[in-house]
Structure 1
Amino acid sequence: MNGKATTTRTKLERGRSALGPALELVHTGRAPTRAVLTSELGVTRATAGAVAAELEALGLIRVDSSPGSAAGSQGRPSHRLSVLEAGPVVLAAQVHADGFRAALVGLGGRIVATTPGCVAVMADPAQVLGEVVGAGAALLRASGLRCVGAGLAVPSAVAEPDGTALNPLHIAWPAGSPVRDIFTACVREAGITGPAFTGNDVNLTALAEHRHGAGRGAQHLLCVATGHRGVGGALVLDGRLHSGSSGLALEVGHLTVNPEGRPCHCGGRGCLDVETDPLAFLTTARREPGPEESLLKQAGDLLRAEYDDPAVRHAAEELIDRLGLGLAGLVNILNPDRIILGGLHRDLLEADPERLRAVVADRSLWGRSGSVPILPCTLAHNSLVGAAELAWQPVLDDPLAALA
């Protein structure tokens, strides 16, 4: 083989190996132009142009034919890059204590369509997952879009590698339910193509926020969030979820923050799970939970609308102090560079940010906890977006192989 042919093949292989990293850069908004893509990939302008053209040919991104440049930039304007709005989607599904929902999610974390949230979660996981996948399949038929995979978020630790929900405390599913196998079977029965994945809802919240929301740019991101019931946590290290040796890391809901507190579902007492979740807030505020709306919505609405009420303010301060105690312990152990809070915890942060940060700083072992940024999550339906990230990952890893 002559030298020219060898060089051409080498360039082609280098370009193809850059397809995945390039797509992830556009997907996460870190390469808005071809010039930035060139810099981030560390390749020539010609290679970056060829990579962008290949991703466009695959129907994944759009290369704007009228170049533009960012304000204050110098030199020749560069072609703009964006995900293709009419491109493929993935099916994302979420189950929580107060219902379930399906959505179609495109690249860039963009929610294309969602079903109305359902408020009944049956004790048979196969029935629930069959219904949510069926609803998602109806969205797909109506959209006419290509589906390349499916992801599911559940309110339980999901053991790896078997994909079982070890102990779904807040829904009436049997412990050890094979949720990944059930979900995969439902996806196949609905005629949906592509691989199917399952993960813990707060893990997926953290992944979505790291790629598209408040966690963008963090190297050691700690996420703590209330679900509709209970509390979960997740850690993203260098862009990847840290799930431990078998998928069970960061079960922060079972940190004790009030030794004399409420009995917890885990058998302990005074855990974050029962001391800082929506039910704990409503109870502490002396409000009787109603059956018509989710506990998360009831708690959030009460906090925002009646914060001046002494009982509501007292409840907020009590939960903030407990949450701060738990966060300080996690900071001392994990040393994150950013903390993001979701669900009711986001609302508590916004109600009194200085109180929460002061509690965390006061409990720091080295006086550094007070300097860790604590931010609210920013994405709507972040667990759904995170479930979609699971399904998009094979495409991000190797677009050619995944779409073949």
Structure 2
Amino acid sequence: MNGKATTTKARLERGRSALGPALELVHTGRAPTRAVLTAELGVTRATAGAVAAELEALGLIRVDSRPGAAAGSQGRPSHRLSVDGAGPVVLAAQVHADGFRAALVGLGGRTVATAPGCVTVSADPAQVLGEVVEAGAVLLRASGRRCVGAGLAVPSAVAEPEGTALNPLHLAWPAGAPVRDIFAEQVRAAGIHGPAFTGNDVNLAALAEHRHGAGRGAQHLLCVATGHRGVGGALVLDGRLHTGSSGLALEVGHLTVNPEGRACHCGSRGCLDVEADPLAFLTAAGREPGPEVSLLQQSTDLLRREYDDQAVRNAGEELIDRLGLGLAGLVNILNPDRIILGGLHRELLDADPERLRAVVADRSLWGRSGGVPILACTLDHNSLVGAAELAWQPVLDDPLGALA
């Protein structure tokens, strides 16, 4: 092989190895132009151009044919890069205590179509996941889009490598239900192509927020959230979820924040899971939960509309203090550089941000030396977007191999 051919082959290999990193940069909005892509990848302009062209040929991104420069900038104008809005999608699904939601999600975390299913969740996971996948299949048929995978978010710790839901307490599913296998089987039966993945809903919310929302730019991101029932936590380290040795890390809901408090499902007492979720808030406010809408929606409406009511304010402050105590303990152990809060906890932060930050600062070693930023999650349906991230990951790792 002559020298020129060798050089060409080496350039092609470098370009192909850069396809995944390049796609992730565009996917997460960190490479809005080809010039930025060149700098981030540490390659030549020619290689970056070839990489962008390859990703465009795969139908994953778009390269603006007319380069432009931002107002006031200097130097050569650069081609703008964006995800292809007409490109492939993944099927994303979330199951929670009050129903499910299915969606088609493109690159960039963009929801293309969604189908809520507010139903009573059956104790049979196969029945529920069959309904979820069918709702997604209807969306796919209507869209005519290519599907490259599927992801599912569930309100339970998911053990790896088995893919079993160990404690789906609020779904009445049997402990240890093989949800990943069931989901994958339903996906195949519906004729949907691509691999299927399953993960814990708060883990996936954290992943979505890190890539597309309030967690962007954080190196060590702690996410704590309460949805319809219970409290979950997640940690993202250098862009990757920290799930522990078997997928069970960050079960923050079982931190004790009130030793004399309510009995918890885990067998302990006064856990964050039962002391700082929507049911705890409604109970503390003296409100009887109704069947009309979810507990989360009832709690959110109460906080937003009646926080001036003394009973509601007292209940809010009580939960803020419990939540702050739990967060302070996590700060001492994990030393995150950012905390984001979701679900009812986001609403509590909005209602009284100074109180929550003061509790965390007062109770944590590192809080007193400057504090950890505490922010609200910003994505709608972030667990659903996170489920999509699971499904997109093989494409982000190896675009050519995944789409072949």
User: Are residues 369 and 352 of structure 1, via their aligned partners in 2, closer, same or farther at CA, if it must alter by over 3 Å?
Assistant: farther
Distance between the aligned counterparts of 2:342 and 2:71, measured in 1? Answer: 33
1:64 corresponds to 2:54: no
Identify the residue that residue 26 of structure 2 maps to in structure 1: 26
Correspondence list, 1:87-166, <5 A? 87-166=87-166
Cα distance per residue 1:307-340 (max 9 Å; x no partner)? 0000000000000000000000000000000000
Q: What letter corresponds to residue 363 of structure 1 in structure 2?
A: R
CA offset at residue 56 of structure 1?
0.2
User: Are residues 310 and 370 of structure 1, via their aligned partners in 2, closer, same or farther at CA, if it must alter by over 3 Å?
Assistant: farther
Correspondence list, 1:373-384, <5 A? 373-384=373-384
Identify the residue that residue 353 of structure 1 maps to in structure 2: 353
Q: What's the secondary structure of 1:116's corresponding residue?
A: strand
Distance between the aligned counterparts of 2:178 and 2:71, measured in 1? Answer: 52
Point out where structure 2 has 5 or more consecutive residues left out of the alignment: none
Cα distance per residue 1:197-255 (max 9 Å; x no partner)? 00000000000000000000000000000021000000000000000000000000000
Q: What's the secondary structure of 2:56's corresponding residue?
A: helix
User: Are residues 146 and 323 of structure 1, via their aligned partners in 2, closer, same or farther at CA, if it must alter by over 3 Å?
Assistant: same
Stretch of structure 1 that moved more, 127-136 or 114-123: 114-123
Q: What's the secondary structure of 1:32's corresponding residue?
A: coil
CA offset at residue 68 of structure 1?
2.1
Q: What's the secondary structure of 2:313's corresponding residue?
A: helix
CA offset at residue 117 of structure 1?
3.1
User: Are residues 53 and 43 of structure 1, via their aligned partners in 2, closer, same or farther at CA, if it must alter by over 3 Å?
Assistant: same
Q: What's the secondary structure of 2:48's corresponding residue?
A: helix
Note if contact 2:61-2:81 (Cα within 8 Å) is conserved in structure 1: yes
Distance between the aligned counterparts of 1:246 and 1:53, measured in 2? Answer: 39
CA offset at residue 370 of structure 1?
5.1
CA offset at residue 74 of structure 1?
1.4
1:296 corresponds to 2:293: no
Distance between the aligned counterparts of 1:369 and 1:264, measured in 2? Answer: 34
Distance between the aligned counterparts of 1:326 and 1:348, measured in 2? Answer: 14
Q: What letter corresponds to residue 325 of structure 2 in structure 1?
A: L
Correspondence list, 1:327-338, <5 A? 327-338=327-338
CA offset at residue 298 of structure 1?
0.6
Q: What letter corresponds to residue 375 of structure 1 in structure 2?
A: L
Cα distance per residue 1:230-284 (max 9 Å; x no partner)? 0000000000000000000000000000000111111111111000000000000
Identify the residue that residue 206 of structure 2 maps to in structure 1: 206
Correspondence list, 1:159-178, <5 A? 159-178=159-178
Instruction: Give the TM-score, by structure 1 length.
Output: 0.99
1:321 corresponds to 2:302: no
Q: What letter corresponds to residue 348 of structure 1 in structure 2?
A: L
CA offset at residue 72 of structure 1?
3.5
Stretch of structure 1 that moved more, 108-117 or 25-34: 108-117
Point out where structure 1 has 5 or more consecutive residues left out of the alignment: none
Note if contact 2:362-2:368 (Cα within 8 Å) is conserved in structure 1: no
Q: What's the secondary structure of 1:176's corresponding residue?
A: coil
Distance between the aligned counterparts of 2:175 and 2:117, measured in 1? Answer: 24
Distance between the aligned counterparts of 2:296 and 2:151, measured in 1? Answer: 23
RMSD: 0.8
1:222 corresponds to 2:222: yes
Q: What letter corresponds to residue 95 of structure 2 in structure 1?
A: V
Q: What's the secondary structure of 2:116's corresponding residue?
A: coil
Identify the residue that residue 6 of structure 2 maps to in structure 1: 6
Distance between the aligned counterparts of 1:290 and 1:74, measured in 2? Answer: 60
Distance between the aligned counterparts of 1:131 and 1:369, measured in 2? Answer: 51
Q: What letter corresponds to residue 336 of structure 1 in structure 2?
A: P
User: Are residues 88 and 369 of structure 1, via their aligned partners in 2, closer, same or farther at CA, if it must alter by over 3 Å?
Assistant: farther
Distance between the aligned counterparts of 1:367 and 1:192, measured in 2? Answer: 48
Note if contact 1:235-1:250 (Cα within 8 Å) is conserved in structure 2: yes
Instruction: Give the TM-score, by structure 2 length.
Output: 0.99
Identify the residue that residue 236 of structure 1 maps to in structure 2: 236
CA offset at residue 366 of structure 1?
4.2
User: Are residues 74 and 24 of structure 1, via their aligned partners in 2, closer, same or farther at CA, if it must alter by over 3 Å?
Assistant: same
Identify the residue that residue 403 of structure 2 maps to in structure 1: 403
Note if contact 1:364-1:370 (Cα within 8 Å) is conserved in structure 2: no
Correspondence list, 1:271-290, <5 A? 271-290=271-290
Cα distance per residue 1:6-62 (max 9 Å; x no partner)? 000000000000000000000000000000000000000010000000000000000
User: Are residues 124 and 380 of structure 1, via their aligned partners in 2, closer, same or farther at CA, if it must alter by over 3 Å?
Assistant: same
CA offset at residue 121 of structure 1?
0.4
Distance between the aligned counterparts of 2:269 and 2:341, measured in 1? Answer: 23
Distance between the aligned counterparts of 1:239 and 1:312, measured in 2? Answer: 38
Distance between the aligned counterparts of 1:171 and 1:368, measured in 2? Answer: 40
Identify the residue that residue 262 of structure 2 maps to in structure 1: 262
Distance between the aligned counterparts of 1:366 and 1:116, measured in 2? Answer: 42
Identify the residue that residue 84 of structure 1 maps to in structure 2: 84
Distance between the aligned counterparts of 2:319 and 2:65, measured in 1? Answer: 53
Distance between the aligned counterparts of 1:288 and 1:228, measured in 2? Answer: 16
Distance between the aligned counterparts of 1:158 and 1:70, measured in 2? Answer: 45
Q: What letter corresponds to residue 29 of structure 1 in structure 2?
A: G
Distance between the aligned counterparts of 1:270 and 1:79, measured in 2? Answer: 56
Note if contact 2:221-2:336 (Cα within 8 Å) is conserved in structure 1: yes
Distance between the aligned counterparts of 1:153 and 1:49, measured in 2? Answer: 36
Distance between the aligned counterparts of 2:99 and 2:139, measured in 1? Answer: 18
Distance between the aligned counterparts of 1:170 and 1:74, measured in 2? Answer: 57
User: Are residues 399 and 334 of structure 1, via their aligned partners in 2, closer, same or farther at CA, if it must alter by over 3 Å?
Assistant: same
Q: What letter corresponds to residue 9 of structure 1 in structure 2?
A: K
User: Are residues 194 and 285 of structure 1, via their aligned partners in 2, closer, same or farther at CA, if it must alter by over 3 Å?
Assistant: same
CA offset at residue 77 of structure 1?
1.3
Note if contact 1:257-1:270 (Cα within 8 Å) is conserved in structure 2: yes
